[in-house]
Structure 1
Amino acid sequence: MTKQKIVFFDIDGTLLDHEKQIPDSTRQAIKHLQENGVITAIATGRAPFMFEEIRKELNINTFVSFNGQYVVHDNNVVFKNPLSAEALVLLEEKATAAGHPMAFFSSESMASNRDGDPFIKTSFNDLKMNPPLFDMSFHNNNEIYQALLFCEANDEAEYLKLKSDFEYIRWHQYSTDVIPAGGSKALGIKQLLDSLKIDVRHTYAFGDALNDIQMLSFVNYGIAMGNALDETKNAARFITKHVDQDGIYHGLQEVGLLTGV
């Protein structure tokens, strides 16, 4: 095991403020880490193609995507864990019968099984992204690493009764992530650490949402943003300032990674 340090950053509400912009202080802090040999990585529920510009802007080439199901280091895939195709068929059948649309994500693109759905439009609009294209057969012809089920929270219980091939992580009023059972950002991070032979004692992570809880509990220095959910803050070792108040910069100072800055 090496003593190499690595820091994982969630995207929405962490790297990106509520205007979906990267604060200048965050850019400067990440550049400082890189200049000092610290590996900077992204850990997100998003698909790789959904944050390519962020990676370019921050010069980050290591990431855990799809909530841990697709992991890349220096542009090389080190771990992938797609959804069960058979179980996905059953889930889609149940969702269709209930009137709930779905979207499906490969490592390179996405598609939905309903065109013009208001839940899909609202969810992606809040991400400030274009909704997926309509393609009924996309998920039958591609390896799928994550799906989105568009329903409200009180409808989600019906899906929890299905065979436990999947886990559901709500990220929006109208949408929940569908990932393989046992999958999480923490699992993806562990796979990366094993590949790079990095001791977990030298790991740091920033997050704010439900899908960050296991990650913040797993790394040695879990840091919740000031705007994080209470459940996420409870899982963290430290709580930094709000994303709109230079939260990443102050959090890195708190754990001693920005000494002298």
Structure 2
Amino acid sequence: MTEQSVIFFDIDGTLLDHDKELPHATKEAIFQLKEAGHVVAIATGRAPFMFEDLRKELDIHTYVSYNGQFVVLNGKVLHTNPLNIPSLVKLTETALHNNHPVVFMDHKDMKANVPEHSYIKEGIDSLKIDRFPTHDPYYYKERELYQSLLFCKEGEEKQYEQEFHDFDFIRWHPVGVDILPKGGSKARGIQKIVDKLGFPPEHQYAFGDGLNDIEMLSTVQNSIAMGNAEDTVKEAAKFVTKSVEEDGIYHGLQMVGLL
């Protein structure tokens, strides 16, 4: 290797396959990058507590979580961008009237505004994590929240988009939508890290597959969409690799000359 680069990886559908397993070739590729002296980071919509085991397994200490709202560099918090709480309270009141549950999330935990709901179970179960939100309808008080989850069917989020302009809404599941601060994104979180580390655009790389990766893939100069990504995601990227099940990470890194 002649020069050091930084590579950001999404988790679900990128590092992890659809069974939430880490392919052997992907793990091998990550350690080859690290051994070559590159900086390996994660850029995900997940909360920090949702991928702690993965960070330990891959020995990664730099990450963009909550789609850019909670950014950590070498184990230390670099940037936070919390939600507007008064607006979130109003949204939650509307959602409660519509029987749409909401989950409040900070960097340590997540709490639901209702005791139980089938949509919460369906959405959280799909992540295959060992954490489930317990009930605390006032978890938003006296703390910063970096993301919330609105559970509703596809199309039903339109009402909230029209009414609550402090937020962006990104669907991640047939019954689940991320609530983010307006303008918050993985791309902005990544920018905080590359500004601090001083990497020029030509030495920045990003891999992703989801709708919440579009801004990241269209902003990072060397962007690679997974083969399992939707067409709109692939169109945002400079390169397209194989699917996660076909060792897309390893193949993509070879494609761009990092391995």
Normalising by structure 1, report the TM-score.
Answer: 0.96
What is the CA distance between 1:4 and its match in structure 2?
A: 3.6
Separation in 1 of the partners of 2:11 and 2:176? 17
Q: Match for 2:192: what amino acid?
A: Q
Separation in 2 of the partners of 1:193 and 1:250? 24
Could you say which residue in structure 1 is the equivalent of 2:10?
10
Provide the secondary structure at the position in 1 that maps to 2:148. Answer: strand
Could you say which residue in structure 2 is the equivalent of 1:235?
236
Q: Match for 1:125: what amino acid?
A: D
What is the CA distance between 1:128 and its match in structure 2?
A: 1.1
Could you say which residue in structure 2 is the equivalent of 1:60?
60
Normalising by structure 2, report the TM-score.
Answer: 0.97
Could you say which residue in structure 1 is the equivalent of 2:203?
202
Q: Deviations over 1:137-161 (max 9, x none)?
A: 1122321000000001221110011
Unpaired segments ≥5 residues, structure 2: none
Provide the secondary structure at the position in 1 that maps to 2:34. Answer: helix
Q: Deviations over 1:75-125 (max 9, x none)?
A: 111110000111111111111111110001101111111122000000011
Q: How many corresponding residue pairs?
A: 256
Could you say which residue in structure 2 is the equivalent of 1:221?
222
Percent of pairs with identical residues: 51
On the 8 A contact 1:104/1:147 being kept in 2, the answer is: yes
Separation in 2 of the partners of 1:58 and 1:110? 24
What is the CA distance between 1:200 and its match in structure 2?
A: 2.0
Could you say which residue in structure 1 is the equivalent of 2:156?
155
What is the CA distance between 1:131 and its match in structure 2?
A: 2.5
1:48 paired to 2:48: yes
Provide the secondary structure at the position in 2 that maps to 1:87. Answer: helix
Q: Deviations over 1:131-187 (max 9, x none)?
A: 211111112232100000000122111001124100000000001000000100001
Provide the secondary structure at the position in 1 that maps to 2:249. Answer: helix
Separation in 2 of the partners of 1:124 and 1:162? 26
Q: Match for 1:182: what amino acid?
A: G
Could you say which residue in structure 2 is the equivalent of 1:131?
132
Provide the secondary structure at the position in 2 that maps to 1:31. Answer: helix
1:79 paired to 2:51: no
Q: Deviations over 1:179-222 (max 9, x none)?
A: 00010000100111112222122111110000000001111111
On the 8 A contact 1:146/1:177 being kept in 2, the answer is: yes
Separation in 1 of the partners of 2:15 and 2:258? 17
**RMSD, aligned α-carbons:** 1.0
Q: Match for 1:56: what amino acid?
A: K
Separation in 2 of the partners of 1:161 and 1:69? 22
Q: Match for 1:134: what amino acid?
A: H
On the 8 A contact 2:67/2:212 being kept in 1, the answer is: yes
Unpaired segments ≥5 residues, structure 1: none
Q: Deviations over 1:16-73 (max 9, x none)?
A: 0111110000111000000111100000000001100000000110000000001001
Runs of 4 or more off by more than 2 Å in structure 1? none
Q: Deviations over 1:215-240 (max 9, x none)?
A: 01111111011101111011011110
Q: Match for 2:100: what amino acid?
A: H
Could you say which residue in structure 1 is the equivalent of 2:100?
100
